[in-house]
Structure 1
Amino acid sequence: MKNIKLLKITFFLTLILGFTSCDEGGDPDPGATSVVEMAGDWFVQLNGTGSYYHLSTYNTAADNGKEMWIEDLGTFWEFKAKTPVNTNELTFGGSNLASNYEGYEITINITNATISKGTATTSGGNTSDGISLDIEFSDDAGTVYKLVGYKRTGFSEDEH
């Protein structure tokens, strides 16, 4: 008799929990950030030749479509800065952008920076988005470096 009561209570509680689960309804799609078309990991080369360096571009906390982070993850110069963006034109850049990469503080100038959809050929022969930018560092003022490359595809033949 006790077991039947316990079974009924367990069944009743299970039903209540089942009907009051965490389903909030609606569209569970969280959407995308304001710079989704410009964000990603990139493999770039100095003047389009030689060794590959890793860049990342991603949304800021403001998610306002007016700026994004760009950083080289310590692979080229050790920089990380917020840069103004034009999401309609897929361009970015600015002057005297504050850069702080793990305590290494400089300013950078980014000019002629563009992202182009589906225009780059990867080192493995695949098609990807392209990126190109000119960058100058305050600790090497007067020298402008041109970085050219492609968006990371995830294919092993394109990794560096």
Structure 2
Amino acid sequence: MNKLFLACALLGISLAGCKKENVDPGGTGTEAVSNEWWAMLTDASGDDVFHLGHFAIATYNTASARDSIWVDDIKHGWGMKGKVGVDLQALTFGSPTGGSKNAYFNPVAPTAFPERVTITAGKVLPRAGRSRTGNVTDSIYMEVEFSDDPGTKYLLSGHARTAFAEDEY
């Protein structure tokens, strides 16, 4: 009986000593430029390159935290995922000289995705976009050049994903 009493007492003391804290984990260092986007890839004449209309892309933090982001078309467009430098004050981003290594490139099947992608003039424009139904969102713009089509600059632009069903493409 004493062992049962002792066990219950220890359990009671242990539970009484526990205090649940709601800790706010915060956001990422690149939260201002990180998002899911609906974008179109167009050529210099403004024509939709893949005739897809809007497709999903994403921008998100890297392990470097505040100095770079991933720009990822999630293999919906050309097949690019490049790490680019970011200026969080200006909300701009771009590839280093020589472009970024494409994380989707596979040297075993080199024709599937380009080896490098160069992103220039990348910018997030707060509240400058409109969703499919007209909701105000952020806008994204960048010029893109792929190593398998050197010399040709494409425009990748669009607006932030709202996650409202009526705004999905």
TM-score (norm 1): 0.86
**Alignment correspondent of 1:61:** 63
CA RMSD of aligned residues (A): 2.2
The Cα offsets for residues 76-120 of structure 1, whole Å up to 9 and x where unpaired, read as 011111000000000001241111216245111111111011110
Unpaired segments of 5 or more residues in structure 1? none
Q: Within 2, Cα distance between the matches of 1:40 and 1:10? A: 51
Percent identity among equivalent residues? 32
Indicate which of 8, 15, 34 corresponds to 2:29: 34
After TM superposition, give the deviation of residue 28 of structure 1 in Å.
Answer: 1.0
The gaps in structure 2 that reach 5 residues or longer are: 107-112
1:17 is matched with which residue? 14
Give me the whole-angstrom Cα distance separating, in 1, the residues matched to 2:13 and 2:87. 51
Q: CA shift at 1:134, angstroms?
A: 0.7
Q: What amino acid maps onto 1:60 in structure 2? A: T
Matched, 1:99 2:102: yes
Q: Is the 8 A contact 2:38 2:160 kept in 1?
A: yes
SS in 2 for 1:101: coil
The aligned residue for residue 132 of structure 2 is 123
Q: Which amino acid aligns with 1:92?
A: F
Mapped contact 2:161–2:167 kept (Cα < 8 A): yes
Q: What is the DSSP-based 3-state SS (H/G/I as helix, E as strand, rest coil) of the residue aligned with 1:143?
A: coil
Does residue 46 (structure 1) correspond to residue 41 (structure 2)? The answer is yes
Larger Rg: 1
Any runs of at least 4 consecutive aligned residues in structure 1 with deviations exceeding 4 A, and if so which? Answer: none
2:126 matches 1:139: no
More strand by share: 1
Once the two structures are superposed, residues 114-160 of structure 1 have per-residue CA deviations (whole angstroms, 9 ceiling, x without a partner) of 10111101112111110011100010111111111111111011112
* Residue aligning to 1:90: 91
**Shift of the alpha carbon at 1:46?**
2.5
